[in-house]
Chain A
Amino acid sequence: MVDSQLRDSIPTFEKRPASEAAEVDLSNWAALTSGSGIRTWAEVTAIGLVAVVIIGGTEVLLRVFEVPQYIMPTPSQIAMALFTDFRFIAPHVVITLTELAIGFAIGASVGLVLAAVITQFPFVEKIVTPYILLLVTTPMLALVPLLILRFGFGMEPRIIAVALAVGPMVMINAATGFRRVDLAKIALARSFGATTPQIFLKIRVPMAVPMIIVGLMVGSIFGLLTAVGAEMVGGSAGLGNRLAYYSSLIHMPQFFACILILAVIGISIYVFFFWAGKRWASWEA
């Protein structure tokens, strides 16, 4: 493990071997923080202006060409629906968010713990990784009908689906973080008499934090996707269920109102993790 690695490695402080360097500057991370350019009021105003042009333009075009509401409602109709029907949609928002929160909490915790444990045993990691990749790449939505058979139409199958979508995603990113080895820093800690658990807590965990945050962000977005998808497949509540419901009744303004709410949830998740990255991993950038 760590110590044997240290004891039998030629001391070198060259700018990290290429193999490790490739792991470290993952493009994920750049994507997470590179959006930091939005600072000045001019930029904010420009972004707002684009929104006004797009929304206003859509409104005008739809009215000019008299597009029927069941094909595409105007932005004002959507806004109206959001305003008048929000009290009917709100309970479903709560349900979707609850599923997401519980599923995410379970999946992320299991993923984090697994990543922390298996990266300590390179052999185990080699064996486990292909299966984790399989879980990452297989859409967990496919399991929902099966889960419904077993757990019914309540929240349970959806929570399980969310956890299954979040867990592997968090794990694979966190594992990348835990695998980052900076021998110089480990040697530093050892020279101060640090024990292996101390090295893990004070060196390896902090070094993994940027990748953990990336994993949590990607995982939560995947979780939202899975929650909504699972609700569309089967169930009686949640935003996904509402999407299916309103489209079946051709209540397009309400349908788009739900999409708008989902967009807000998604962007909030992104902003939260962006902020978390700034707060806890700014040293990386």
Chain B
Amino acid sequence: MTGWSDNEVGARSGVSGNRRQQRPAKLIVDSASKVYQTKTGAVPALEDFHMVAHEGELVCVIGPSGCGKSTLLWSMAGLHALSRGRILLDEKPVVEPDPQIGMVFQDANLLPWRTLQRNIELPFEFKRRKPRDYRQRIDALLARVGLEGFRDKYPRELSGGMQQRASIVRSLSFDPTVLLMDEPFGALDAFTRDEMNLLIQEIWMETGKTIVFVTHNIAEAIFLADRIMVMTPRPGRLSRVYDIDFPRPRPIALTTTPEFVALVADIKASIDHGTRAARGQ
């Protein structure tokens, strides 16, 4: 159930038993390194990181806080330039934000001066497309996440879960093929988080998007992922890869089964081991 393999690059995909890994590689991170130049000196955030997300795969990236998870995701989104290495989307290097990539940020990141509807239309304003042509799609998405009655509300009038659902609609509205999610549910309470994870699973199964989901919550990662990439503490390197084969759709009850709990403990131990090793250096 939980075979793990060492650092793998695109060429070696398909070896694993996981069915989705036999599909073509969608997003490839190839020996990515990122060093931030700050006032207090160079901060290495990411070091020689490899990973592949195959088409329609849900990959979770997990690691201790400050290990460069966000850096990795921002680089995938074309918001950051890497110091070394490259990121390929459909075999083309990502150097700037790509309309094929939708990003979901921490804390929903809605604009407080816009209503829900106008927040969701924001991407279309930048692309100079009329949201009217996408109205049907937006309406369907809003209905899908249960927000159709709230389009004229301002973000502050909505709960954290609703805000994050709106931000998911916003990133799906222009139909990207890849969804990058940067600890989207970190600020939510446990129950809302479960609800959101179910929603993500459903949306993912319905749409077949490639999702890279960054989190520091191990249970969340196992519940969602086809594969989990575990990162070391800063500078972030790939330490282990777990294949997660629990059948879909996974119910929340799965999280209390002995297999699930054992896997959580296993991954936790591997992260703790990495943290201790990093401190020992």
B77 x A191 contact (CB < 8 A): yes
How far is A6 from B125 in the complex, measured between Cα atoms in Å? 21
Asked if A101 is an interface residue, CB under 8 A from chain B, the answer is no
Contacts of A6 in B (CB 8 A): 79-80
B36 close to A8 (CB less than 8 A): yes
- For residue A198, CB closer than 8 A to chain B, the reply is yes
B122 at the interface (CB under 8 A from A): yes
Also in contact, A283 and B103, with CB within 8 A (given A7-B80, A193-B126): no
Query: In the complex, what distance in Å separates the CA atom of A163 from the CA atom of B126?
Result: 36
With beta carbons under 8 angstroms apart, the residue of B43, B102, B123 that contacts A10 is B43
Q: Quick one: which of B71-124 are within 8 Å of A by CB?
A: 71, 73-74, 77-81, 97, 99, 101-103, 105-107, 109, 111-113, 122-123
CB pair B105 A283 closer than 8 Å: no
Query: How many chain A residues touch the partner (CB < 8 A)?
Result: 28
Q: Which residues of B contact A191 (CB under 8 A)?
A: 77-79, 97, 101-103
A283 CA to B110 CA, complexed, in Å: 12
Query: Would you call B126 and A13 a contact (CB within 8 A)?
Result: no
* In the complex, chain B residues 36-77 whose Cβ is within 8 Å of any chain A Cβ: 36-38, 43, 45, 70-71, 73-74, 77
Q: Does A113 contact B (CB under 8 A)?
A: no
| Identity of the chain A residue whose Cβ is nearest the Cβ of B101 in the assembled complex | A191
Complex Cα gap A10–B99 (Å): 23
B79 touches A187 (CB 8 A): yes
| Residue among B38, B109, B127, B174 making CB contact with A188, cutoff 8 Å | B109
B134 within 8 A of A: no
Chain A neighbourhood of B43, CB < 8 A: 10
Within the complex, what minimum Cβ distance (angstroms) separates A280 from chain B?
A: 8
In the assembled complex, the Cα of A202 lies from the Cα of B113 at a distance in Å of: 10
Query: 1/0 per residue B246-272: CB within 8 Å of A?
Result: 000000000000000000000000000
Which residue of the partner chain, among B77, B111, B123, contacts A185 with CB atoms under 8 Å? B111
CB nearest to B154 among chain A residues: A283
How far does the alpha carbon of A12 sit from the alpha carbon of B36 in the complex, in Å? 13
Instruction: Let me know if B156 is at the binding interface, CB within 8 A.
Output: yes
Partner of B71, one of A10, A189, A195: A10
* CB under 8 Å from chain B, chain A span 170-186: 184-185
- Which single residue of chain A is at the shortest CB-CB distance from B112? A283
Q: Do A202 and B122 contact each other (CB < 8 Å), given the known contacts A6-B79, A187-B74, A191-B101? A: yes
Whole-angstrom distance between the Cβ of B244 and the nearest chain A Cβ: 26
A106 in the interface, Cβ–Cβ < 8 Å?
Answer: no
Q: Is A190 touching B97 in the complex (CB atoms < 8 A)?
A: yes
B70 touches A206 (CB 8 A): no
Q: How far is the CB of B49 from chain A (nearest CB, A)?
A: 15
Q: Is the CB of B107 within 8 A of A13?
A: yes
A11 contacts B by Cβ under 8 Å: yes
Chain A residues 1-15 with CB under 8 Å of chain B are 6-13
Q: Does A147 contact B (CB under 8 A)?
A: no
B106 with A184: CB separation less than 8 A? yes
Contact B36 A10 (CB under 8 A): yes
Cβ of B76 to closest chain A Cβ, rounded Å: 10
User: Residues of A contacting B73 with CB < 8 Å?
Assistant: 11
B173 closest partner in A (C-beta): A192
Shortest distance from the beta carbon of B105 to any chain A beta carbon, whole Å: 6
A193 to B123 Cα, complex, angstroms? 8
- Pick the most buried of A9, A187, A192: most chain B CB atoms within 10 A of its CB: A192
A93 to chain B, nearest CB (A): 36
Expressed in whole angstroms, the Cα–Cα distance for A121 and B127 within the complex equals 26
Closest to A4 in B: B81
Chain B hits for A189, CB < 8 A = 122, 126
Q: Give CA–CA (A12, B105) in the complex, Å.
A: 11
Report A198 CB to chain B, min CB distance, Å.
5
Q: Could you tell me the distance between the alpha carbons of A3 and B77 in the complex, rounded to whole angstroms?
A: 14
A193 to B176: give the CA distance in the assembly, Å: 13
Report whether B81 and A7 are in contact in the complex, using a CB–CB cutoff of 8 Å: yes
A156–B101 CA distance with the chains assembled, in angstroms: 57
A265 within 8 A of B: no
Residues in A whose Cβ lies below 8 Å from that of B38: 10
Cα distance A187–B70 in the bound complex, in angstroms = 12
Q: Which residues of A contact B80 (CB under 8 A)?
A: 6-7, 11
A190-B79, A206-B113 known; A8+B37 contact, CB < 8 A: yes
**Interface residues, chain B, with chain A CB atoms under 8 Å away:** 36-38, 43, 45, 70-71, 73-74, 77-81, 97, 99, 101-103, 105-107, 109, 111-113, 122-123, 125-127, 154, 156, 174, 182
Closest 9 CB pairs between A and B? Answer: A11-B70, A192-B123, A283-B112, A194-B126, A191-B103, A13-B106, A283-B113, A192-B126, A206-B113
What are some 21 contacts across the A-B interface (CB < 8 A)? A6-B80, A7-B80, A11-B70, A11-B80, A11-B182, A13-B105, A13-B107, A188-B105, A188-B109, A189-B122, A189-B126, A190-B79, A191-B77, A191-B78, A191-B103, A192-B174, A198-B125, A202-B125, A206-B113, A207-B113, A283-B156
